[in-house]
Structure 1
Amino acid sequence: MAGPLRIGIIGAARVATYAMIAPARARDDVVVAAVAARDPARARAYAETHGIGRVHDSYAALAADPDIDLVYVATPPAFHREQALLAIAAGKPVLVEKPFTRDPGEAEALLAAGRAAGVPVLEAMHSRLHALWPLIARVLPQIGAIRHVDAVFDVTVSTADAEFRWDAALGGGALMDLGIYPLAWVRAVAGEPLAVTMASMHRRRNADAAVSATLAIPGGVTARIAADMTAPRRASLTVTGSAGTLHVDNPLAPQLGHRVIVTTAAGTTEHVADGPGSYDAQLAAVIAHVRDGAPWPLAADDPLASMRAIAMVRAAAVEPGTGTIG
């Protein structure tokens, strides 16, 4: 492929400004070349604001554009499957914002479509692509056999009427938008959950505002995850082992400051991972995978495993005082 990788964005979304447009501007081997939105006028304004050269009047037109090499889907999760399928049908690799889809069935169908077409279908799980995670893998054995994992991500989400994260029908809610990260961190260090032994959700407006769950993981490991869309920003991961503990401040976006603290009988050590920010690392991995055939850093079925974990929590969730809501 000669020249820069040309990316088309589906959805004139805020997330694309820091997850794709800003990282692309820092490189000379990629360019955001086109955008499409449900409202063409909004797409034109977005393109003008962010210096995007071409605006398409439909998502299908963007996917079919021969001058686009990869499609980035940045719309609410309710639309991910149908819009990613447009890219796959056009033979284009596609990067889908997290959460990948609404449920495991959609995720499985989307990955199968990509395999059948021979095109990469990737989830934008930026957090897991930072150099922090190889560092965690190196120091984790120091704490012995894992016994328990605790992972939390809270952040106050705007209550504006247009904020889709307060609409479960669009794929919003604390579990889908925030809880996907603590689940990913737990899965990364301890493996896929076998069962959810307890889960609770607190609803507000048209979605779950907060979620917490206790998981059973192979080997007798337990885990707790929590996420809250009404609480101050907090992101942390704590792993308790037979010989010590590992604590991570800010596994979400380590480029904003992080620490890995390992405590054992030998004492306490503190570590920091060097390298590009998580969104920069994500774009670099996309380019290497799509252009150069480099392995994708995560398992090919990771988006499906992520949606299965989310579905397990949702199915077990109870709202205090009201009964099951899963």
Structure 2
Amino acid sequence: MHTPLTDDTKAIMLLCGVFGEDHAVDPLTQTEYNTLARWLFNQQMRPGDLLRQENWNAATIGASFGIRGERLKALLGRGVSLGFAVEEWQRNGIWVISRSDEDYPERYKKHLKDKAPPLIFGVGDRSQVQGGGVAIVGARNVDAEGEDFARKSATLCAHNKMPVVSGGARGVDWIAMTAALEAGGVTIGILADNLLKKSLDRDTRSPISEGRLLLLSPYPPNARFTAGAAIGRNKLIYALADYGLVVSADYKKGGTWTGATEELKRGNSLTIFIRTGENVPLGNKKMLELGAIEWPAVDAPDRLDQQLAEVAKSTERNSVEEKPALQMPLPLP
């Protein structure tokens, strides 16, 4: 049974969505959409109000910030293409939520503010979209010690009923996700590309149907991989979890280093734990200098959540709170 799309979500999809091979008009970027959303907020309007043609001219006038009126009207006029796309996605079990929906991840709103993606596509149990648990990340190329650490950490999370959040990429991401599933746990994968293809893989179909694997992406279900997309989704991995755990990171290169250091510099950063030891990569050692915390020796296998909370509380960093990007309730619809 599919949850009907709200009018707000329909409008946001028309404005920001990509439908098949139709590239006649460029969808709004997140920055452009935020600007439009700010105008709607000031006018006491909702995105769904733009589904009525009488509001198009008002939006064009009020949103005189570099978005041409013809472009806005062309985007909002893609109703037929949207209908075909949604029908195909739903046929393959894909659902979509927007920043205006009640079940949009509250963690994204609080942690990312206006950087929270306007749209999220998903496959699996939608009720698990609120996240929690540990974000386990690391390099694609990882040594045997790193593999073993990722597997054991993910298994421990599963035994403590803490979801494992990761990126679904080759290497540490998939090792951790697979280990958690094999241990009977819940895993949330936030993908940078091809949500549709991944959801149909033999390895993912069963845990999805069992309600133990949730796949999410801020990108269209058929999106191809780009390095920029992979780096862009890293903040979504951390933002959906209670804690981060970096298994293996190359120093000053790669998505793992970029994503972890970005999170460590955030004013409202998660607690980021890191694997330590004699043979860890240089990036792991350098992250300790940036504020990451050594992954603790587990004192009791059934109280991981409590132990991590205690360690995080005792090592809280006195960082300056980030100023919100917009002086109004965030995120915008």
TM-score, normalised relative to structure 2 = 0.31
TM-score, normalised relative to structure 1 = 0.31
Which has more helix, going by share of residues? 2
Which has more strand, going by share of residues? 1
